[in-house]
Amino acid sequence: MAKKAANLNLRKASTAKKDEFYTQLSDIENELKHYKKHFKDKVVYCNCDDPRVSNFFHYFSHNFEKLGIKKLITTCYKSQSMDLFSDNKSEEAIYLEYTGDKNGNNVPDPDEIGIKKLKSDGDFRSKESIALLKQADIVVTNPPFSLFREYVAQLIEHNKKFIIVGHQNAISYKEIFKLIKEDKMWLGYGFKGGAAHFINKHYEDYATAGNHQEGMIRVSGVTWFTNLDISKRHEDLILYKNYNPKEYPKFDHYDAINVDKTNEIPMDYKGNIGVPITFLNKYSPEQFEIIDGLNRYSILDGPTPETQGKYLSQVNGNPIYVRIVIKNKKIWT
């Protein structure tokens, strides 16, 4: 019941002007510490962030010299119909370019941060924002979840590196899944417990007592997406179980066995294996190949004459949540 109430409030947030969700600085630090080598001599762009309140701006401006950043650009979307999880509440669209400390105190002082007005509303799709995007090497932000597909498509179109916050449900979007399958996008290190606490003083938090934090809202299924290489992508998952047909039944309408837990993938099975989407947290392209994704239909192919009326992600007559179909490249015998 509490979960339903929380979801209802999430949907109401954007219209009730209660969607002031700010990523915690500690969450940003915990993720970005794995990417430090990538920022040297690079232009970093945060294009869904009001630099006056954003912890993304705070992180990069206060670590500018330490990371060796060339330039930091941020833009802020004018408050019109704000979207959930965009880190801004500005009455006017602005941008700034920060090029580092000038007076030797290693602190981004106001006179070193020139805030400039944008002619447009600052939407990431505007001509002004795209012109700034073209200057950037790496984009880091938490874009509007409802525009996630379009946002990622723009980054890919302009061949940009990125580290962005998103919901794991986006993995089941055809456009996003295709990028993951082709190793053009993958998951970062993620949030502890697969959930994030966003700063929000106006929101009633329905988290259990153990997870409740005053002035914050807990959101499950939030993760980081990136296309920057990180060490976890090259770490093999340790497998210890052997295949047997009783423990690993096949899908009713798809040639693959079902595995309910990532750590129970059989080490000796050569065929297709259906695993939960949380598998991507452990995915190494050197160990596994991604074949397809299953929900009602194939995520890649959609409904076809052959699959019409069949629920592909189904075992023994029971539909199950989205599965990623993989093959093990390193069979143990």
pLDDT digits (tens, 9 = 90+) for 254-286: 999 999 999 999 999 999 999 999 999 999 999
Q: How many CB atoms lie within 10 A of CB 8?
A: 11
Q: What is the mean pLDDT of the chain?
A: 84
For the beta sheet containing 288-294, the strands, ordered from the edge strand earlier in sequence to the opposite edge, are 257-258, 273-276, 323-328, 288-294
| Most confident of the ranges 189-203, 238-252, 289-303 | 238-252
Fold of 2-232: Rossmann fold (3.40.50)
Domain with CATH 3.40.50 in the chain: 2-232
Question: In one letter, which amino acid is 253?
Answer: H
Indicate whether 160 pLDDT > 90: yes
Is-contact 44 136, C-beta < 8 A? yes
How big, in percent rounded to 5, are the helix, strand and coil portions of the chain? 25, 25, 50
Give 279-325 pLDDT, tens digit per residue.
999 999 999 999 999 998 899 988 888 888 889 999 999 999 999 99
Question: In one letter, which amino acid is 193?
Answer: G
- Banded model confidence at residue 88, pLDDT cuts 50, 70, 90: very low
Question: Residue 202 has which token pair?
Answer: 């106006």
Q: Write down the residue that tokens 């670590």 correspond to.
A: 63
Higher per-residue confidence, 117 vs 224 = 224
